[in-house]
Amino acid sequence: MSKKITTIGGQALMEGIMMVGPKRTVAAFCDEKGTITTEEIQVPRLTQKYSILGKPFIRGIFALIDSFRLGYKALSLSADKLTELEEEEEPSGIDKWLTDHLGDKLTGMIMGVASVLGVALAILLFFFLPTVLFNLLQKVVPSDISGFRSLFEGILRLLIFLSYLLLVSLLPDIKRTFQYHGAEHKTIFCYENDLPLTVENVRKQGRFHPRCGTSFLILMLILGVIVGFFIPFSNPFLRTAAKLLCIPIIMNLGYELQKACAKHEGIVSRIITAPGLWVQRITVKEPSDKMIEAAIAAMEAVIPENGEDLIR
């Protein structure tokens, strides 16, 4: 069996899936009747518009920005489609006021506010809180434990992240999204194994992919621990600010490391990707046949004819 490695990636949506190819980005949606529809997502990519942003050790942060922009657009589209499928109910006074004054901008504004609040909460939980807790611990423990600060903060961030994933995975809608995540991985594996994209062939593939976004987040958390050893500040505000400034560096390092592991399979690559693959047991579930069909529809729409998606 021939094996190839593709740059095509995807994202699970609400009752759908998005595939990102070198030229096209397409989202496929499955309605309650099982009908699958596709729609192209057109968002100019910074890494394609400006060639300098696609260079090694620069491209990581901008590739992530492109992913967030595409994901935001696709999630807005999937939210709109779910709203269309819901039965019309008599809106409340405030709902009617918001609709009358904001119209089509309402969904975008809600997601924008949610994004801002989400970022603020992430900074509080993942950067500020671990430093505050370690400072409190240092006052209680008589011996000098300052050398363990970064390790303590890193383990706490990882525990918070895993706890969040476990909690949201209990929600039915999120569980279905994680099933679409599984359909994405299996379909990419099927394509990389050079097999025809059929439900039967996709079903046989593994669901844990080393180049998954979940794996990238875990890799960033691990790199964050290493970088944290070089941040001298103990003040929560200064340390949080320094960590935020280091995010582009960590993203670029993580991006290049993940790409290197994709090109060179070996014991080092397996060790680096192992933590992310373990965590995918939470975020990647077995999909239904219809979910696989949606993933195939999106995948087929973005595969280029000249093979420019392949990592050589």
Q: Residue 86 corresponds to which amino acid?
A: E
Is 300 in contact with 24 (CB distance < 8 Å)?
A: no
Q: Can you tell me the distance from the alpha carbon of 25 to that of 303, in angstroms, rounded to the nearest whole number?
A: 10
Q: Which residue has the higher pLDDT, 312 or 89?
A: 312
What tokens were used for 168? 């949201």
Query: For 8-40, how does the pLDDT look when each residue is reduced to its tens digit (9 = 90+)?
Result: 999 999 899 999 999 899 999 998 888 999 999
What tokens were used for 71? 């994901």
Mean pLDDT, the chain, rounded, equals 87
pLDDT band at 88 (very low <50, low <70, confident <90, very high): very low
What is the rounded average pLDDT of the residues 87-102? Answer: 51
Give the per-residue pLDDT at 300. 95
pLDDT at 98 over 70: no
Is 134 in contact with 150 (CB distance < 8 Å)?
A: no
Q: Which residue has the higher pLDDT, 85 or 226?
A: 226
Is 74 in contact with 27 (CB distance < 8 Å)?
A: yes
The SS3 of residue 233 is: coil
DSSP annotation string for 81-137: HHHHHSPP----HHHHHHHHHHTTHHHHHHHHHHHHHHHHHHHIIIIIHHHHHHHHH
Domain range annotation of the chain: 9-84+107-302
Residues 6+ apart with CB under 8 A from 190: 197, 201, 202, 204, 205
Nearest to 184 by CA among 267, 74, 258: 74
% of the chain beyond a pLDDT of 70? 89
Query: For 136-181, how does the pLDDT look when each residue is reduced to its tens digit (9 = 90+)?
Result: 998 887 777 878 999 999 999 999 999 999 999 999 999 999 999 9
Is 25 in contact with 70 (CB distance < 8 Å)?
A: yes
Nearest to 292 by CA among 159, 191, 168: 191
b/e 194-223 (16+ beta carbons within 10 angstroms → b) = ebebebebbeebebbbbbbbbbbbbbbbbb
What tokens were used for 63? 């590739």
pLDDT at 226 over 90: yes
What tokens were used for 199? 């439900």
Q: Can you tell me the distance from the alpha carbon of 241 to that of 271, in angstroms, rounded to the nearest whole number?
A: 31
Phi, psi for residue 6 in degrees, rounded to 5: -105, 155
Is 17 in contact with 10 (CB distance < 8 Å)?
A: yes
Residues 6+ apart with CB under 8 A from 300: 197
Give the per-residue pLDDT at 83. 67
Is 217 in contact with 277 (CB distance < 8 Å)?
A: no
Q: Can you tell me the distance from the alpha carbon of 181 to that of 208, in angstroms, rounded to the nearest whole number?
A: 10
pLDDT at 65 over 60: yes
Give the per-residue pLDDT at 24. 92
Strand partners, 6: 310
Report the range out of 85-99, 209-223, 253-267, 283-297 with the highest average pLDDT.
Answer: 283-297
What tokens were used for 311? 């990592």
289-to-5, 134, 149, 252 alpha-carbon distances in Å: 24, 48, 47, 36
Judge if pTM exceeds 0.75.
yes
Give the per-residue pLDDT at 60. 87
